[in-house]
Chains A and B, each alone.
Chain A
């Protein structure tokens, strides 16, 4: 393998290359790159990419690095292109309800700017507080707000992307209604950088809700909680976000006995003053009728709770473990979540679940080092995939410790569109240098 460091040093300013001692900090799933470049401009990025493309180097792109391990284990990484020094830039047009920002802009800086004009991007991906816009777009993971607002995919109105040859192409524009040309930006959203490097995105924003309040409810068991939740969600006054948490399965107490898990339902209501009065009262009544107990969750605690729910499985406190995201239609969520609970109980695995019945998502986190054992992990993933298949759903392994992760297909079957996806990859990245082998079907 040619001298990657040497070739890059000739093409870029000297201080762009991270010293050899730092390389391991940029490892992805234990795979250390041969070189890391910290790019400070579009021109530098273009030089680095074009060189990598010419040489056929395996490239990984990095924003904050918070979700660097999301995706399959890389076979090799020749160079990490870090965007941590790229300039943040925000161009907010409050009257148009649109904003354009560079990929390196953090989501929190963006929300702060929008907030000053009474607007926001109603998204809550995992670790939102730390991440860049580019990373959030490339991974396209949704949180509880996805139920009412969809995901970033429905908010992006334009994008600039750099191809592996260093050439920049844009699609869409700066207007909320646009059918000029094809929506390539949709393919880049959630593509893990395998089709190009996102440089900038334009998005449509929303007004901040006039009132935003959360209620918590306790139910005797998760199945009942989910059933009650689906009924509330079907009402016109239903909450815009609702998550059921089943926390601490198979935890043992001091006496060695298994402690019961906690089952809480968190519901977020957004609207006007009068609207909220009715929403909250109706919800409280419905919860009582359906066998639960409801209470208000105060402002600061509510914000913390929603952040915790969005970060579930990815937050630092989670530690080492297996995090699987299962998805299906809302009407099947009860069956799916109960099945996951049974798998956990059957194997006596410690586990916690966060279920979004309205958005059809079950997230299961199994803490502990034992999940680094390939045999144990693959057995569980197979069982979970079988469950998901039973409800025409899917199961994606978001996190898994090594070495087990190396043996897993983290994505599962992407469906009959795979040949088209492969053709798309060939068109956009003909030499196959971008995040090679980490996406679905080995793309």
Chain B
């Protein structure tokens, strides 16, 4: 089928208004939140499951790649049409279809913005726990594709622990339900296999998700330490004390400096590390956990501790942490955000290694991280306009990933493999391991047309070079 005919057929399915195919209009869809890009042939916006299925079937019959897309905030290149083809943008399908308060379940469309779900069910005293940092923009469908996390996944788990069932469109256009509104029914856990499959197994058209009751009481604490070692020791003490905080975030000296310059948050001059810890539960247990955490932090040398239970005050404590990424612009014009994950106890070791890498490549690296689950986000600071910076930055990223793997960790804790890290997969998986994953994918999508070029090494990749993230992008309420 030639391109014009395909576009005409797509227009017939969703209406002319909802097919973008003019090169000028397609430019915006060449990118997502990552550093890669790829030009699709067309971007289509279906209104419902039937249209989604028809679009997928058309593309499949035409032998053309199919790339699902949510809000396009992904950081690993998952929504990039690296081999061209039809991008299916799910953003028109963004309703909350049903909320079952008695059973704490919501049925939603994939284009629903993550935070909008929690906002919608808040009046019922419920919320949706997986809270990726981009939750003001990212969509549930994208969360399913990447198995997104967020600071509160320390205690409550990631997306895969909250998805009960999925209505998906397979590559041939057929529609099938995976899972049930409850766990424990007979059969293979196809939902578990699908979550995190990065758009390579099917297109989500509905999701049934678990909701949690809002906790009776929440206590947020911010502890400032003169040295990173002390903060790290405090993390270990808290974990060892038997309370599982609902969130535990850390910032290093450089990111603190950036936040202080940009926001005048009020951190002391000599702050070496900031720990943000949240505990929740029934009132008595929250109070007890909060007191225990504060005592442990003081015991490890915290120079200052602030605590809050009231919503606005807690938000103020979080603001420093959430402002970190946006504040990096005060230090350098560009940053490259790395997502690595290591066993919690290895964080300090890997951070020291990150410091060495920083000296080797000659760029400062600011660190913010989810200290509770070992997920680190070194931000390599540089200037893309300067000759030679970009390749050295990428090299630093690669070295950091190798350090994570060497410490018993792996390539990605929450951003996904996508295009960004597929070449590194052999660092953690053998051919046999990758072969098994490929067979799993083949069971769902044998043609190779669904989001090709992702996850597995080899195949099409971005040949256009690196386009680094700029600090300006982070201003739009995004943090990590």
* A→B interface (CB under 8 Å): 93-98, 118, 142, 146, 150-151, 153-154, 161, 163, 167-171, 173-184, 186-187, 189-191, 195, 206-208, 210, 234, 236-237, 271-275, 277-279, 325, 327-331, 359-361, 392-394, 396, 411-412, 414-421, 423-424, 426-428, 440-441
Contacts and interface: CB of A to CB of B under 8 A. Distances in A.
A423 B443 contact: yes
Contacts of A331: 100, 102-103
A175 B343 contact: yes
Nearest to B148: A179
B455 A181 contact: yes
Contacts of A150: 161, 183
B158 interface: yes
B186 A411 contact: yes
A331 to B, nearest CB: 4
Contacts of B343: 93, 95-96, 98, 174-175
Interface stretch (B58-66, B108-116, B404-412): B404-412
- The list of the 10 closest CB pairs from A to B, nearest first, reads A186-B192, A414-B187, A169-B436, A275-B285, A95-B345, A207-B242, A427-B439, A96-B343, A411-B186, A424-B443
Residue among B160, B236, B285 with the highest chain A CB neighbour number at 10 A: B285
B193 interface: yes
Given A167-B432, A169-B433, A181-B455, A187 B342 contact: no
Most buried by A among B176, B242, B282: B282
A328 B285 contact: no
Contacts of A421: 187-188, 190
A191 B190 CA distance: 11
Given A153-B192, A181-B429, A327-B184, A171 B177 contact: no
B474 interface: no
Q: Which of B180, B189, B373, B429 gathers most chain A CB within 10 Å?
A: B189
Contact of B410 (A180, A189, A207): A180
A179 B147 contact: yes
Contacts of A329: 100, 103, 105, 181-182
Nearest to A209: B242
B370 A177 contact: yes
Nearest to B217: A236
Contacts of A176: 344, 373-374
Nearest to B147: A179
Contacts of B105: 329
Contacts of A359: 184
Interface stretch (B39-47, B246-254, B270-278, B414-422): B414-422
B195 interface: yes
Nearest to A163: B436
A330 B176 contact: no
Interface of B: 100, 102-103, 105, 146-147, 149, 153, 157-158, 160-161, 176-190, 192-193, 195-197, 213, 215-216, 236, 239-240, 242-244, 281-285, 287-289, 341-345, 370, 373-375, 408-417, 421, 425, 428-430, 432-437, 439-444, 455
A252 B367 CA distance: 71
B412 A440 contact: no
A275 B284 contact: yes
A186 B190 CA distance: 8
Given A95-B236, A179-B158, A394-B180, 12 more contacts: A175-B373, A177-B373, A178-B413, A179-B146, A180-B425, A190-B189, A191-B188, A206-B244, A237-B282, A274-B287, A278-B282, A417-B187
B188 A424 contact: yes
Contact of A182 (B100, B341, B441): B441
Contacts of A419: 176
B184 A187 contact: no
29 contacts: A96-B344, A142-B184, A154-B161, A163-B436, A175-B341, A175-B342, A175-B410, A175-B413, A176-B374, A177-B153, A177-B413, A178-B412, A179-B158, A181-B428, A183-B192, A183-B196, A187-B189, A191-B188, A271-B281, A272-B289, A274-B285, A392-B181, A393-B182, A412-B186, A417-B178, A427-B440, A428-B436, A428-B439, A428-B440
Contacts of A428: 436, 439-440
Contacts of B408: 174-175
A417 B189 CA distance: 10
Contacts of B161: 150, 154
